Structures are given as structure tokens and as C-alpha cells.
Amino acid sequence: MRILKPISVVLMATLTLASCGTTKTATTTTNVVHEISIITATDSISPKMGEMTKAEVQAWPHMDVFTDSVPGMSLEKAYSFVKNKQGTTVIVGVIDSGIDIEHEDLKDVVWVNEDEIIGNGIDDDNNGYVDDINGWNFLGGKKGQANPEQLELTRIVKKWMPRFEGKSADSIADADKADFELFTELKNTIDKKNKSAAAQVAQYTTIKEMVLKVNDTIVKVLDGKDMNVDNINTIKFEDPLLEQGKFTIMQIIGAGESINGAYEQLDGVISHYNNQLNSQYKIDFDGRLAGDNPEDIKDTGYGNAFVIGSKDDEIHGTHVSGIIAAERNNGVGMNGVAHNVKIMSIRAVPDGDEYDKDVALAIRYAADNGAKVVNMSFGKGYSPNAEWVFDAIKYAAKKDVLLVHAAGNDSSDIDTAENFPNDSKDKITELADNVITVGAMTRFFDDKLVASFSNYGKKNVDVFAPGLEIYSTFPKNEYKSIQGTSMASPEVAGVAALVRSYYPKLTASQVKHIIMNSGIEYHKEVIKPGSKDEKISFDSLSVSGRVLNAYNALLMADKMSK
């Protein structure tokens, strides 16, 4: 799943990088737990006014809506509630792009397979994976190697080209017409995307070159003076392009950004669109490194133990893992949601679309090796081998594993739009009751509550959680804020792990419904994702109509466990 990374407005870029046997229900507004009320109603709360500090923005997902007027998950209240309770360790599988398990804030919370001997080249525990000390890399490749890949729609076009390339609709047999129509639609999409990506690369390359040139000129003119808005504004250029560039530089600095930071963001934009051209929408590209047949689910002897991936190019899994379990209160970086957690790194998500085979085997790996919660911050619009994943979800349910899945970043109603993996073939009836799908929300407790990019669905999104401006770990001991439903999902996974730590007898299904039913209510209209100002009831955007709350979840778990 492509993440969302904020790009300065003055650079004109916001990127989208890269869900139900039972019908989902939500109940209760107030329950009593040993005279402690589970309060979910928020009609009397006014949104926080005024600007928040940088530290407050970084910490907002953990805030308490009742005391801070910010719709965080009341995490400190949650920890106060369990401070005299004994928790057990919970293994959380993170199926993602890889994790920097050497990061200063993650290295002590990484799962270690104690039944495996490091580096002896033997499958000591007989689980089918050699030297899987911290997890498994289903993408294969060398240590530290990145893995660009095609999107699934590109793979479909590539696979069907021998059948349909150069043919007209009237020459296609009736039995093949549906496939031919899809092939034609996807081929046109690829052509348009490639043309658009090429234009974006050219545009942002020009912007970067302009910023570089103007910045160098301004530095020379200032001749040692401070590089601030007032000093820059005194400079007058006869060349209109330089003058325009000057105002761009002023806007960057005025917004609190650095010029080097702007360069880095522009490089990220250019790289993003180059990846579309060179791999994601490139029909003749083959990014598979594992040496297996991705169309054969029985071909399982592939991959390796290099679970980190590329620290230079793959940040997603590291950021997700920090949200869940970055070591708490160690004086370093930031605090994850859950303690008593060990993160199992399962690398199966490339820079492109994941293969169904990898996802299915990754879920089974997590379930077989002790994970009780699995975070899945990825997704795609086509799934040729969805049955493999459906079977893996049911397998995980039998193992009592809760799967937490990001709803996606297309501003779409996934009750109608396709979004894989999901837990229902017809978008109504669940295959199993162990998947919780998460939409993204903001720190604004008003009509801007729902993130503009977030997918939604009254039947197929279960709950909303913080997903905008989420501060967490980056590779190489760094920390940054990014956004996406990819960030909302691990907030829920963290709370699920917290509940399972203190109430281990609760089942995956019970924990799922506790999270849904204990969330904060918001019975007002919000701006519909993907629109400028169209309003829609927040209650209609998910099954529960609620916002994640860790404190309430623990209260409800305590009641249910008794």
C-alpha cells in the first residue's frame, strides 16, 4: 500500500504512495465496569482551538478527547488503568516492506525465534524456513536490496497480451469478451498513467532545478546575511523566473521548511513517478527476485531471512512498527502504542503491488509462529488469486489470530470499489470474524475528522483511527511524520496487542468487537473523503461509526473477561 507523505503546498505536491459468515455490528454507548463508566458519547465536546505545538502534533494520536479536545486514543489513561496488572508478551506480525530491526527504538522489541540457531543454514525448528531468527523475507533478493514491482493491473495486461494484443472486439469469442474488455480498460489506464508520470517527472525536475538555481543566487546576493524571509524579500530580480523562484523560496522558509528538506521531498516526488514509469506501469518489467513461481501456491521453498530490506528505499514497515511498539519511555524518539510486544518482521510488500501468494504464506507464517495480532498495511484493486488469501484468513482464524488491515487511500467507498485483501467475497458476509479494517482520521474533532484520502464503507470499514501526521520511526535511527490508512491500521494493532496482553483469554473475534464497540462516537457530518466540501454523516462511513479508544477498549475487555 502506498503511503501518503506530506509535500509542502508551495511545491504543489501531495502523494498517495502506496476489507465481512457474520455481519458486523456495533453496540453500546455506556457500560459499567466495576463502577467505571465506558464513556463514548462526545456531543458536548468542542474541538481544540488554536495552533498545536510541534510536540503536540507529534503526540496527538495518544491524546484524550475528553481532556485535550483532540480525538486521540486516550493512551495514558489506558496505561493508568493497567498499571497494577500483569501483562503477557504478545507477538505482533508486521507484513510489510521490511523493518529496520536495528533501529534504536525497535531493536529491543523485535521477535527472536529461540528455536532457531543463528546462521547455521539449518531449519532447526522444522517450520520450513531456514534461519528465520526475526521473521521471513518472502520477496527474496540480497541483503539490503530494494524490491520495485509492477502493479497487479500491469501484471494482468502482461499476462493477457498474447490473447488480446492487436485484436478488435468483434474478433473476440463471447466467452472471452469480459476479459478482453478488462484488458482494454487496464491497457488504457497504463498508457494514461505512464504519460502522466512522465509529465510529473519533467515538472518536478524543472521545479527542483529552479529552486536550486534561485537558492544559489540568493545565497550569493545575501553574502552571509541570514537566510530569512525579510532579507530575501529585499532582493529584486529583473528575470521574472528568478523573481517567481524567490517567492517560492520565501514560502518554503516561511512555512518552517528547510531548502534541503524541500530538495529531499522533491527527490521523493521524482523517484515516486520514476518508479511508476520504470516498474509499476512498465509491462515488460520483471521485479521478482525470489526465484519461485508466484502463480504456484505449492512452490513454497523461496525467500530468505533478510527481513530489513533496503534502509535507503523502504521506510514503510519501519514506520508502521514504531507506531505499534517503539520502546516506551526509554528517552529515545517516540513511544509506541503497546508494551509487552515483540515485532515479527515479515517482508512481503514490494514497491508496487504484493503477490497474493506472498500475502497468503505470510499470514500463515505469522499464525504458525506465534503471532496473535498481524498488521497488514497494504492493499490493491485486483487479486487474481484471492482464494489463497481467503484460505489464509480462515487458517489464521482457526489459530485465533487477529488480522488488522488498512482500508486504503483512494477516497473510495469499498462497499462498492474493489480493495484486496478483504474478508468477504460478496462484501456482506464474512469468511471469518478475525479481520478488522481501519480507516484514517485526523486530529481535528470537527467536520475535518476523516482524512481526505481515506477509504470508507458502512459494511467493510470497521473503525477509524489516527492516520494523519503520524510521527514514528524511520530507518537509520530517524523519525518522521507521514500519513495514510497504513498508519491508522498499526494504531489499532497496537491497541489489540495491549488488550491481548492483559486479557489473553479473549479471542481474536472478541478483541475485534471490543475495539469496534468501545470507540468514541461522533454523530455529526464530516467532509466526505475525496470531495471539497460535500458533507456526509460520520456514522455512515464505517460499521461501528466510531473512533479507536485504547482506554475504553481495556475497560470493556476487563468487563468481558469477567
Q: Rounded distance, CA 77 to CA 552, Å?
A: 9
Query: What is the predicted pLDDT for the residue at 385?
Result: 98
CA end-to-end span of the chain: 39
Of 29 and 397, the one with more pLDDT: 397
Query: What is the predicted pLDDT for the residue at 242?
Result: 86
Q: Rounded distance, CA 400 to CA 24, Å?
A: 18
Other C-beta atoms lying within 10 Å of the C-beta of residue 329: 8
| Tens-place pLDDT, residues 167-177 | 999 999 999 99
Task: Give mean pLDDT, residues 487-503.
Answer: 98
Has residue 562 got a pLDDT over 90? no
Q: By C-alpha distance, which of 72, 103, 553, 128 is closest to 343?
A: 103
Q: By C-alpha distance, which of 506, 521, 518 is closest to 552?
A: 518
Query: What is the predicted pLDDT for the residue at 19?
Result: 33
Query: What is the predicted pLDDT for the residue at 5?
Result: 41
| Tens-place pLDDT, residues 381-426 | 999 999 999 999 999 999 999 999 999 999 999 999 999 999 999 9
Which CATH fold would you assign to the domain 4-149+301-561?
Answer: Rossmann fold (3.40.50)
Q: Rounded distance, CA 478 to CA 90, Å?
A: 26
Rg (CA), the chain: 24
**Cell numbers at residue 421, please?**
485483501
Query: What is the number of H-type helices and E-type strands within the chain?
Result: 14, 17
Q: 351 exposed, middle or buried (CB, 10 Å; 0-12, 13-18, 19+)?
A: buried
Task: Give mean pLDDT, residues 331-358.
Answer: 97
Q: Which DSSP string corresponds to 497-558?
A: HHHHHH-TTS-HHHHHHHHHHTSEE--SEEEPTTSSS-EEEGGGGSSS-EE--HHHHHHHHH
Q: Diameter of the chain by CA atoms?
A: 77
Q: Rounded distance, CA 496 to CA 554, Å?
A: 10
Has residue 352 got a pLDDT over 70? yes
Task: Give mean pLDDT, residues 237-244.
Answer: 87
Q: Rounded distance, CA 105 to CA 117, Å?
A: 25
**What amino acid is encoded at 28 in this protein?**
T
Tell me what percent of the chain is helix, strand and coil, each rounded to the nearest 5.
40, 15, 50
| Tens-place pLDDT, residues 189-210 | 999 999 999 999 999 999 999 8
Q: What is the mean pLDDT of the chain?
A: 92
Contacts of 177 by beta carbon, 8 Å cutoff, 6+ apart: 169
Does the pTM surpass 0.75? The reply is yes
| % the chain with pLDDT above 90 | 84
Sorting pLDDT into bands at 50, 70 and 90, what band is 35?
Answer: low
Has residue 374 got a pLDDT over 80? yes
| Tens-place pLDDT, residues 304-334 | 999 999 999 999 999 999 999 999 999 999 9
| % the chain with pLDDT above 70 | 94
What residue spans define the domains of the chain? 4-149+301-561, 153-280
